[in-house]
């Protein structure tokens, strides 16, 4: 069993993008995980080139979710050109988010001021949560993405990342703890900035 798992990861890494798309259509989530490993960083770099005002990791995560849904419905990059399809999807999302952000924050904060401090705090907390996630090591972010978004099991996540299921479970726990700690640091820093006296 261990030997079989040890050779499964190279099997995916040796497949073409077109073959991985076909496997994903058949319900193989590990094949889609390989597509994530291959193209996500390039997708983030492209998102930044489209607009510097968007969070590249958020854009790519949304792009992958859309593509997965498209592939499962028989659409998506059926010609095997996954990279081109990813870039087109990333561009569309990045442009949409950039346009939406052009006054969204100002409007939201204005509305929050009218609604009271609780709503203002919720907006700030959402912004802080994103900032906390971006401070995590890439491997922790990938673990959280595979577990929480793609919803792979620990065994499946382990095979995608080239580690044993037990190590995958430990990594996921550390990633969650890391996110919680980063969030707490963000909270402490916000508290210090509020309470710091001015001179």
**Right CATH number for 1-115 from 3.40.50.1970, 1.10.1740.10, 3.40.50.300, 3.90.1150.10?**
1.10.1740.10
CATH class, range 117-199: mainly alpha
Write the pLDDT tens digit of every residue in 118-161. Answer: 555 555 566 666 677 777 887 787 788 778 766 778 888 887 67
Distance of CA 35 to the CA centre of its chain: 13
Entry pTM: 0.53
Sorted by where each begins, the domain ranges of the chain are: 1-115, 117-199
Q: What is the mean pLDDT of residues 31-55?
A: 86
């Amino acid at each position: 069993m261990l030997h079989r798992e040890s050779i499964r990861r190279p099997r995916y890494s040796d497949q073409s993008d077109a073959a991985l798309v076909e496997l994903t259509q058949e319900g193989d989530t590990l094949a889609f995980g390989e597509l994530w490993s291959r193209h996500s960083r390039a997708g983030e770099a492209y998102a930044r080139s489209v607009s510097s005002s968007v969070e590249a990791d958020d854009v790519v995560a949304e792009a992958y979710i859309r593509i997965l849904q498209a592939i499962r419905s028989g659409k998506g990059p059926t010609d095997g050109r996954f990279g081109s399809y990813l870039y087109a999807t990333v561009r569309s999302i990045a442009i949409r988010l950039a346009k939406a952000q052009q006054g969204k924050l100002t409007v939201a904060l204005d509305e929050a001021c009218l609604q009271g401090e609780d709503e203002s705090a919720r907006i700030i907390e959402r912004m802080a949560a994103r900032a906390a996630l971006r401070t995590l090591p890439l491997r922790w972010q990938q673990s959280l993405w595979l577990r929480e978004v793609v919803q792979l099991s620990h065994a499946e996540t382990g095979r995608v990342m080239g580690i044993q299921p037990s190590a995958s479970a430990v990594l996921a726990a550390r990633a969650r703890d890391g996110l919680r700690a980063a969030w707490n640091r963000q909270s402490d820093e916000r508290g210090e900035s509020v309470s710091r006296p001015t001179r």
